[in-house]
Structure 1
């Protein structure tokens, strides 16, 4: 993973490694920068569980001016090195690798749909998964996610990037049938919009609150530089999705496909160009509001591109979209640790 001319390093460096002597070799951590519809991440491969990611180290890595820059940090670690990974292994013995995901503010998150796809691309690059041999089983704090390579749908437009589909698992409405019938179970006040709007809570292993807007002019006017005010206040916080339904279209392979446009404020991050679980939540909320006969497949347009969401008959939801690895770098651990103090 090293850049030409840089010191050769293993994918991970133990946090307990002794500091370099003055004038001695640099201590470096090899990382990769990648994104899924411009939801970007700093990724590192640490099969032996040697890298300790403190909240400060995560913030330093994710810092867009003093670090590598990203909406989050993903450490791929051997599942046996984390209690959550051991639980994933017990659930699925094929899940030998675990996606240890952190938000840019250093907080631990359950998982990230865009991040799962980018992690799959990283594992392909490292030879740790061969898509031709079958699905990837990846442990996360929201359960084991299975990933496969897919062709981009024609309705999404041309794409030169590889696409991956992720079984995101079961989804649910925390408010149950009553929330579905009422159309919502929360109210959200967004800066730039005049009044609070009704919204629907959707759980995909992490929390989401989805509100529909009257049109794209409101979507543009919304100010997501600050977190929307959600009532009742979710105990673990929430990601907030603003959506505008765009009707339906016909795809030669997928049949009738719904389409929505979305912006998102991610807890612990702020507004991001995309959110995978947020796209799923947006599609599922609009499908719920549409009622019987609504399509099961939805294209979700986000500022960073387009993803495909499918509500499956088994109660799971699948997310498909591109994943791009854009750079590899060696991070100076001395600088990182100084920023962490």
Structure 2
């Protein structure tokens, strides 16, 4: 579809546990969403500011949409997600919840029903869920993130590692475990919360072997286990993350899944299937589902709307 020139772009600002996004409604695919425009919108001083840009577009208007519609004809809307540096990303776990909240506001989704969202990592299914006891009062959404796997295979499971990660502020390189949740992650455990605080994520961690397409890196400190009011055993993890194409963010949904899955793998047989992951921006819940899928649940908040003067962007 031919892009249409416009001088003003109506956008919405939203976040999921302070992983924040600029959202735009482009159902017909008429906005020329270039990498340059994404960078300018995401710029925190010269633009609106965000970790990324999310476009609502009709699934049929993107080349990737054909595979999505073949998988699920009901996936009418595609989450076209771009990192803050303008690069295209497969998925964003916090972003897809914010996307769902945005569709709800636009009147494109009745949250009584399940929502099928098209993404570059396949179809993701979203539903409204109750907020866990004692964790704020924002509206929560749960997303079936699809299948996950450990790229290192059985050897990585047996050894607990398949990579080495050097993080500024951490005295030596640490072993890491690769986890794929529709996009790539490497998770490493630190000794304690002091070491987690000392880590310098203003610089990208150095991962060996070097991932072909880059990777997100999660630094985690396991915090033991607790029990839900219904008696379910819940694992607890604290995390910081350096996101590919962005830098450190306040939260990363797929990263929270990767963190929980890595700690669960390290814990071995009998480890919980439900995890609360604490990130600087809040708390999300990760649930390992039967059949090899993983679910991410957490809040989504829409905080503002704005009309961006495109001529004012550099």
TM-score (norm 1): 0.90
CA distance in 2, matches of 1:69, 1:124: 23
| Alignment RMSD (CA, Å) | 1.0
Q: 1:266 to 1:254 in 2, by over 3 A?
A: farther
**Deviation string for 1:58-109 (max 9, x for gaps)?**
0000000000000000001000000111211111001111000000000000
Q: CA deviation at 1:211?
A: 0.1
**Could you say which residue in structure 2 is the equivalent of 1:246?**
223
The aligned residue for residue 252 of structure 2 is: 275
- Structure 1 Cα separation of the partners of residues 135 and 284 of structure 2: 12
Choose from 309, 317, 327 the match for 2:286: 309
157-166 or 232-241: which moved more? 157-166
Q: What is the distance in 1 between the residues matched to 2:135 and 2:263?
A: 25
Cα deviation, residue 208, structure 1: 0.1
1:208 partnered with 2:185: yes
Match of 1:319 among 292, 296, 299: 296
Question: What whole-Å deviation, never above 9, does each CA across 1:255-295 have from its counterpart, x for those lacking one?
Answer: 10000000000010000000000000000000000000000
Question: What is residue 38 of structure 1 aligned with on the other side?
Answer: 18
The structure 2 residue matched to 1:145, chosen from 105, 120, 124, is 124
Matched, 1:163 2:140: yes
The 2-side partners of 1:77 and 1:241 are apart by: 30
1-structure distance, mates of 2:231, 2:285: 11
2:101 to 111, 121, 130: 121
Contact 2:131 2:137 in 1 (8 A): no
The runs of at least 4 aligned residues of structure 1 exceeding 3 Å deviation read none
Aligned-pair CA distance for 1:333? 2.1
Q: Gaps spanning 5+ residues in structure 2: where?
A: none
Name the larger-Rg structure. 1
Matches of 1:312 and 1:69 in 2, distance apart? 35
Q: Which residue of 2 aligns with 1:6?
A: none
* CA gap 1:223/1:305 in 2 versus in 1, 3 angstroms: same
| 2:65 is aligned with 1:85 | yes
1:50 and 2:30 correspond: yes
What is the aligned partner in structure 2 of residue 108 from structure 1? 88
1:296: Cα distance to partner? Answer: 0.2
SS at match of 1:244: strand
Aligned counterpart, 1:17:
5
1:77 is paired with a residue of what secondary structure?
strand
Distance 2:96 2:135 in 1: 22
Whole-Å Cα distance in 1 between the matches of residues 198 and 128 of structure 2? 37
Does structure 1 conserve the Cα–Cα contact (< 8 Å) formed by 2:22 and 2:48?
Answer: yes
Partners of 1:215 and 1:46 in 2: CA distance: 45
Q: Could you tell me which residue of structure 2 aligns to residue 99 of structure 1?
A: 79
Question: How much has 1:158 moved relative to structure 2?
Answer: 3.3
For residues 177-203 of structure 1, give each alpha carbon's deviation from its aligned partner in whole angstroms, at most 9, with x where no partner exists.
Answer: 110110100000000011000000000
